[in-house]
Structure 1
Amino acid sequence: MEGALQYVEDNDMSIRGASRKWGVPAATLPKWLSCLTTMPKKGPPTILTYQEEEEIVQWCQEMAGCGHGLEIINLKAVTAEGLDKDQALCLRLAIVSTFYETLSKAYAANPYGPARIWNCAETRVMADRNEAMRVPARKGSWNVSYILSKSHEWITIVCCVNASRQSIPGFYMIKGKRLLHNYIAECEPGACMAVQQHAWMTKELFMNWLHHFKRSVLGGVSPTNRCLFIFDDHDSHVALPTIQEARMLGIDLLTLPAHTSHKLQPLNVSVFSPFKTSNRKETHG
């Protein structure tokens, strides 16, 4: 192989001629010449070329020789988070920086304390069992099932937390046209509920939520004791009547840039996922 490569690299012989002379497959020589692989192998193509792998190996060896060897624990394989195009485009430095500049101006105009800065977000859960879970079963079992309810009703929950680790009782939106009974009898004290055809947030329901927020905040909310309210820019949140009502109540509204709540909204980042995991365990219990 080395002789065939040398002849081809020195332009003394064609790939086909070197293949016949040295008994090397003609399809193999170009791969070696382009440093794509060290040897023919099955499976999908590698991400790094042979030359890149050699450079990494050489760098690791040099670091080890200098007394700065790399620990294997510093590297791991992770599952990359999928971002759609809108999320990727909107999560740019310029857009995020503009949001924080606006936030700084809001602080300067009204120095809110930690208990006066609130983050609000919505999440949807199914009222019954909706996802498969790992359950104990006989070793070697493959077909394990469980019984589902005939109805699959979605519930939207509006959650609100502040920088002092306080929270507002939940606001539950039930799918339907009228209230049949108290669905939240066993929920936290102070919780509220409403019905909507699709269990979606609307302008009218968000107005009701603002008054629920005002009633629930410790210390009250007023034009002289204002709160900063950070949430996404859904249409139901930024209607003109909503903005006017919020100002009158003493609530300053600040919206996150579009398609960035998966990174900038604390509830989306660290609360909703464990909540839904716990909810699934309860519904399967």
Structure 2
Amino acid sequence: MGRQKPSKPGTRKYGTKTRYSNDTLQKILEEITTGRIGQREAARKYNIPRQTIVNKLKNKHSCKVGRATVFTEIKERSFVQHCITVSDMGVPISIFDLRCIVKSYLDTCNRKVSCFADNMPGWEWGKAFLERHHSELSQKFTVNISRKHAAVNEDIISTFFLKYKDEIEGVPAENIFNFDETGFHDIPAKGKLLFRRTCRHPEKIENTSKSCFTVMFCGNAAGEFLPPYLIFKGKQKWTDWIYNAPPGTRMNSSDSVWMEQGVFDDWFETHFLPFALKKEGRRVIIGDNLSSHISIRTLELCEQNNIKFICLPPNATHLLQPLDVAYFSSLKKNWRDVLSQWRKTPEGKKKQCLPKGTFSGLLAKTLQLGEQTASSNLVKGFEKCGLCPVNCDRVLQCLPDYARNESSVMGSVGAEFKKIFGDNKTIRSECEVCQKVQVAHRTREECVYRRC
């Protein structure tokens, strides 16, 4: 006989013979106490043993089912508080990390737990721990951010808005612009497909490449968009690259396919400036502090045409860039769907790389697909970033706890957990009553063997 595969570990289930919930049982007891139904009739109707109903009416067997937990409620609360504190700092731990912390705690206290192999809690204990504290702890997939992004705190945001509020005073929403470039990669959408259950390498035959196209977008707080500005890789430009592009689209080329200073100056002078000059009054343009976005030529044009150029704080675009916050996410989703459909066509199956002329046509379809919600998304992006109307508190609410009140969080790291280690140094390490070396305790509730 072949070797049987080990089953995946799981927490033990107690009370599996019952076919009713606690809410259903309480409802039945209420009907019996009010005289609407008898005990025998309720037992037959709801398929519940009559003795169970009698015990519940007499308030018997009201204790929790199963053995006592290894740790007291107070100590488990300290573990929970430790997990919450380190997660608020931006360095959350996994269940395995928690099990290692518990093992370290047990070894420090010279306590041996028989149900833990080598004093290391098992996978089942970790899962049961989460179930006991599901109202406070939960496992979630993390989103990694760099340490530079994490360094953006309340002081940086408040200082920016203090200066921004003075610069934007009296400027209407249609005169407040935000620009940002983004890359469109030749990577179709991914999804769950059907495979043989024993398949170890689920693959799909579909052409793809590492090609990328940069597009500059710009819009105002009133929801108006400028036509896109395409940047292709190369030294020469050909007009047939944008035959199928959205109306008003302009293009340029660069060796790196990224935004360069000369390309940005061309975008500002030939693309943005004619659109902005149609607006009356003072104008404001907001962008990140990328070096290629700041040049003497651009600043001179801003001064000559009554345009205020405002740079966002470094590494804060995920909080203060309206296009990043509310527009690009849905745009990229639509792009991957459009690209996936094109890859299924005869031309898409034949082409290894996405042609430049084809890209402009696919971009037009992508923008058309999200045309109904694009304007409202941009307006909401300005609101969420607190840029129009000006609202600094809107952004501060999005900051994590370690960025809003760093000093208090740093001072409370593992305070409850450290307290347990400190308390055990001044208490006996051996119980005089039950004569067992374990965590020192003062009361019967803290004694694991319940003999004190």
Distance 1:214 1:46, change over 3 A: same
Equivalent AA in structure 2 for residue 117 of structure 1: I
Name the counterpart of 2:224: 166
Superposed displacement of residue 158, structure 1? 0.8
Name the counterpart of 2:333: 277
Asked if structure 1 preserves the Cα contact closer than 8 Å seen for 2:188 and 2:340, the reply is no
Name the counterpart of 1:106: 167
Query: Mean Cα displacement is larger for which, 263-272 or 238-247?
Result: 238-247
Distance (Å, rounded) in 2 between the aligned partners of 1:246 and 1:260: 23
What are the equivalent positions in structure 2 for 1:111-260 lying under 5 Å apart? 111-126=170-185, 128=186, 130-131=187-188, 133-134=190-191, 136-137=193-194, 140=197, 142-149=201-208, 152-211=210-269, 212-217=271-276, 220-221=278-279, 225-260=281-316
Distance 1:264 1:28, change over 3 A: closer
Alignment of 1:93 with 2:169, yes or no, is no
Equivalent AA in structure 2 for residue 248 of structure 1: Q
Equivalent AA in structure 2 for residue 203 of structure 1: Q
Distance (Å, rounded) in 2 between the aligned partners of 1:166 and 1:197: 31
Distance (Å, rounded) in 2 between the aligned partners of 1:123 and 1:85: 22
3-state SS of 2:142 partner: coil
Larger proportion of helix: 2
Superposed displacement of residue 75, structure 1? 7.9
3-state SS of 1:183 partner: helix
Bigger relative CO (Cα 8 Å, ≥ 6 apart): 2
Unaligned runs of at least 5 residues, structure 2: 1-67, 72-102, 342-452
3-state SS of 1:160 partner: strand
Instruction: Give deviations 1:185-210, integer Å, cap 9, x for gaps.
Output: 22221111101111111121111111
The percentage of aligned residue pairs carrying the same residue is: 22
3-state SS of 1:182 partner: helix
Structure of greater Rg: 2
Superposed displacement of residue 100, structure 1? 0.6
Distance 1:28 1:78, change over 3 A: closer
Asked if structure 1 preserves the Cα contact closer than 8 Å seen for 2:195 and 2:202, the reply is no
Question: What is the CA RMSD across the aligned residues, in angstroms?
Answer: 3.8
Equivalent AA in structure 1 for residue 305 of structure 2: L
Distance 1:122 1:39, change over 3 A: farther
**1:268 equivalent among 298, 302, 324:** 324
Name the counterpart of 2:122: 42
Asked if structure 1 preserves the Cα contact closer than 8 Å seen for 2:288 and 2:311, the reply is yes
Asked if structure 1 preserves the Cα contact closer than 8 Å seen for 2:217 and 2:227, the reply is yes
Equivalent AA in structure 1 for residue 106 of structure 2: P
TM-score with structure 1 length normalisation?
0.70
Equivalent AA in structure 1 for residue 273 of structure 2: K
